[in-house]
Amino acid sequence: MFELKWLWQNLEGNRARYITALVLSVVGSSLMIINPYIGQRIVDTFITGENAVQNLTQERGLLIMLCMGMIGFSLLRTGLAYLTTMQYEQASQNMLYKVRIYLYNKIQGQDMEYYDHNRTGDLMTKMTGDLDMVRHSMAWIIKTIIESVTIFLAAVVYFFTIDAVLTLWLLVLAPPIFIVAYIFAKKVRPMYIDLRERLSQLNTTTQENISGNRVVKAFAREEYEIEKFTDKNIHFSQANKKAALVWLDYFPYLETFAQAFNVILMLAGGYFVMQGRITFGEFSAFSALIWAISNPMRNIGIIINDIQRFFASLSKIVEIYYAKPNIVNEHKATEKRRYEGRIDFDHVSFKYDGGEVLHDISFSVKPGETIAIMGSTGSGKTSLVNLIPRFYDVSGGQVLVDGVDVRKLELDELRGNIGIATQDVLLFSDTIDGNIAYGDPELPEEQTVEYARLAAAHDFITKMPEGYDTIVGERGVGLSGGQKQRIALSRALAVRRPILILDDTTSAVDLETEEHIQKSLRELDFPCTKLIIAQRVSTTAEADRILILDGGRLIEEGTHAELLAIRGYYYEVFMLQNEGIGRKVSAHGQK
User: Are 348 and 396 in contact, with CB atoms under 8 Å apart?
Assistant: yes
Instruction: Give me the least distance between CB of 446 and ligand M5T, in Å please.
Output: 35
How far apart CA 328 and CA 324 sit, in angstroms, is 8
Which of Mg ion, ligand M5T, none binds 380 (CB below 5-8 Å, type-dependent)? Answer: ligand M5T
Q: Among all residues, whose Cβ is closest to Mg ion?
A: 382
Instruction: Give me the least distance between CB of 196 and ligand M5T, in Å please.
Output: 27
Count of beta carbons in the 10 Å neighbourhood of residue 149: 14
Which is closer to ligand M5T, CB of 344 or CB of 504? Answer: 504
User: Which run of H or E residues covers position 142?
Assistant: helix 142-162
Closest CA to 502 of 359, 372, 336, 365: 372
Q: Is 568 helix (H, G, I), strand (E, B) or coil?
A: coil
Instruction: Give me the least distance between CB of 385 and Mg ion, in Å please.
Output: 8
- Which one of 165-173, 188-196, 240-248, 380-388 is the stretch in contact with ligand M5T (CB under 6 A)? 380-388
User: Are 556 and 568 in contact, with CB atoms under 8 Å apart?
Assistant: yes
- Residue 39's identity, in one-letter code, is G
- Among the listed residues 39, 375, 389, 397, the single contact to ligand M5T using CB under 6 A: 375
x/- mask, ligand M5T, residues 416-455, rule CB under 6 A, reads -------x--------------------------------
The 3-state secondary structure of 435-461 reads HHCCCCCCCCHHHHHHHHHHCCCHHHH
Radius of gyration over every alpha carbon of the chain, rounded to an integer in angstroms: 37
Which is closer to Mg ion, CB of 97 or CB of 115? Answer: 115
Instruction: Give me the least distance between CB of 494 and ligand M5T, in Å please.
Output: 24
How far apart CA 331 and CA 168 sit, in angstroms, is 64
Which is closer to ligand M5T, CB of 173 or CB of 509? Answer: 509
What part of residues 132-161 is at the interface with ligand M5T (CB under 6 A)? none
Instruction: Give me the least distance between CB of 225 and Mg ion, in Å please.
Output: 28
Which is closer to Mg ion, CB of 137 or CB of 382? Answer: 382
- Which one of 190-198, 287-295, 312-320, 417-425 is the stretch in contact with Mg ion (CB under 5 A)? 417-425
Closest CA to 349 of 384, 390, 391, 389: 384
- Residue 328's identity, in one-letter code, is V
Residues touching ligand M5T: how many (CB under 6 A)? 13
Strand order in the sheet with 545-550: 418-421, 499-503, 529-533, 370-375, 545-550, 553-558
Tell me how far the alpha carbon of residue 582 is from its chain's centroid.
55
Closest CA to 69 of 109, 35, 40, 31: 35
How far apart CA 558 and CA 578 sit, in angstroms, is 20
Which of ligand M5T, Mg ion, none binds 116 (CB below 5-8 Å, type-dependent)? Answer: ligand M5T
- Among the listed residues 198, 381, 496, 530, the single contact to ligand M5T using CB under 6 A: 381
Which is closer to Mg ion, CB of 130 or CB of 514? Answer: 514
Which of Mg ion, ligand M5T, none binds 110 (CB below 5-8 Å, type-dependent)? Answer: none
- Residue 467's identity, in one-letter code, is G
x/- mask, ligand M5T, residues 532-571, rule CB under 6 A, reads ----------------------------------------
Closest CA to 113 of 378, 358, 325: 325
- Among the listed residues 379, 506, 518, 539, the single contact to ligand M5T using CB under 6 A: 379
x/- mask, ligand M5T, residues 348-367, rule CB under 6 A, reads ----x-x--x----------
423 binds Mg ion (CB under 5 A): yes
Which is closer to ligand M5T, CB of 293 or CB of 361? Answer: 361
Instruction: Give me the least distance between CB of 375 and ligand M5T, in Å please.
Output: 6
What part of residues 216-255 is at the interface with ligand M5T (CB under 6 A)? none
What part of residues 100-129 is at the interface with ligand M5T (CB under 6 A)? 116
Instruction: Give me the least distance between CB of 504 and Mg ion, in Å please.
Output: 6
- Which one of 28-36, 167-175, 381-389, 396-404 is the stretch in contact with Mg ion (CB under 5 A)? 381-389
Which is closer to ligand M5T, CB of 272 or CB of 391? Answer: 391
Closest CA to 376 of 576, 149, 565, 522: 576
Q: Is 226 helix (H, G, I), strand (E, B) or coil?
A: helix
Residues touching Mg ion: how many (CB under 5 A)? 2
DSSP 512-553: HHHHHHHHHHHT-SS--EEEEE-S-HHHHTTSSEEEEEETTE
382 binds Mg ion (CB under 5 A): yes
386 binds Mg ion (CB under 5 A): no
Closest CA to 11 of 105, 133, 97, 130: 97
Instruction: Give me the least distance between CB of 326 and ligand M5T, in Å please.
Output: 15
How far apart CA 192 and CA 241 sit, in angstroms, is 11
Could you list the residues that contact ligand M5T (CB under 6 A)? 116, 352, 354, 357, 375, 377-383, 423
Could you list the residues that contact Mg ion (CB under 5 A)? 382, 423
